[in-house]
Amino acid sequence: MTDTEPDMKSDINSVAYGEEWSALWEQDYGTRPDTDDAVRTVADLAAGRPVLELGVGTGRLAVPLADLGLPVHGVDNSPWMLAGLRKKPGGERVTTTEGDLVTTTVPGRFGVVLLASYALFALTTQEQQIDCFRNAAAHLEPGGAFVVEVVSPQLLEADICRPVKISADEVVLLVSTAADRITQRLQTAHVYLRHDAPVKILPWDSRYAGPPEMDLMGRLAGLELSARWGGWDRRPYTAASAKHISVYTLPEGPV
């Protein structure tokens, strides 16, 4: 390690978004079929107002939002993910702050605060998730929206080992441990098997929460649920939806 390299953080999820996983994340998840729909939906909700993305990562959403002319500020605690953002064409248009999305405050008020890609569940206690809602609400202008994308907990798979990528020279497996139904904790890991490299295991710790619990977190933060979709194309949310996008609005007048 040199003076210019960032320190490795100690908890499991910080390691997950360390140098190695940041590069693999960009390769495996940096491009997704629903990204354009996500950008369009967030831009519609922003309606020209500034956007704050918590857990901005490599700017998969933030960069195209900035390309649309929206002022975009991103917060992330992984210097490696932020370095990936800065390397992208147009990445310089996104203002960034390195810090924890639960506690970091940035100047200004935003029309949309965005928390995409299940990052809410990377906060492994209920307290942290409540504080994340509160931090998001504190950055909203009246009428602004906190937009959260999470996997549907009812479809979370525990005790599995399944391939997510199979090619002649690489197999990637997703494994998960038994879910703890009391604490709502689930540990998963991506296992990389490559012909020319040692086996790599990248663990991820999560705490899932169902829609009613999230709605309560919203209410504790002074927010009201205004929409819930089963995808970024704004399809209806049903019990079979793999994920949901929930929109929590800060009321215009006194609550």
Ligand X SMILES: C[S@@+](CC[C@H](N)C(=O)[O-])C[C@H]1O[C@@H](n2cnc3c(N)ncnc32)[C@H](O)[C@@H]1O
What residues line the site for ligand X (CB under 6 A)?
13, 17, 55-57, 60-61, 76-78, 81, 100-102, 116-117, 119, 122
Closest distance of CB 195 from ligand X, Å:
27
Smallest separation (angstroms) from ligand X to the CB of 252: 28
- Distance, in Å, from the CA atom of 70 to the CA atom of 111, rounded to the nearest integer, reads 10
- Tell me whether residue 56 or residue 136 sits nearer to ligand X (CB atom): 56
Tell me the closest approach of the beta carbon of residue 149 to ligand X, in angstroms. Answer: 8
- Closer residue to ligand X in complex, CB, 45/56: 56
Smallest distance from ligand X to CB 122, Å: 4
Cα separation, 89 vs 210, whole angstroms: 37
The residues near 248 (Cβ < 8 Å, ≥ 6 apart) are 133, 136, 137, 145, 146, 147, 148, 218, 221, 223, 224, 225, 226
Helix (H/G/I), strand (E/B), else coil: 139: coil
Q: Which is nearer to ligand X, 82 or 239 (CB)?
A: 82
Sign of the C-alpha dihedral computed for residues 133, 139, 144 and 145 taken in this order: negative
CB of 99 to ligand X, least distance (A): 7
Least separation in angstroms between residue 32's CB and ligand X is 8
Candidates 117, 137, 147, 112; CA nearest to 227 is 147
The residue among 56 and 245 lying less far from ligand X, judged by its C-beta, is 56
Q: Which residue is nearest to ligand X (CB)?
A: 57
The CA dihedral of 34, 88, 43, 57, to the nearest 10 degrees, is 70
The contacts of residue 206 (CB under 8 Å, 6+ apart) are: 118, 121, 122, 124, 185, 186, 187, 188
User: Based on CB atoms, which residue is closest to ligand X, 50 or 55?
Assistant: 55
Which distant-in-sequence residues (6+ apart) come within 8 Å of 138 by Cβ? 105
If the CB atoms of residues 130 and 169 are measured against ligand X, the closer one turns out to be 130
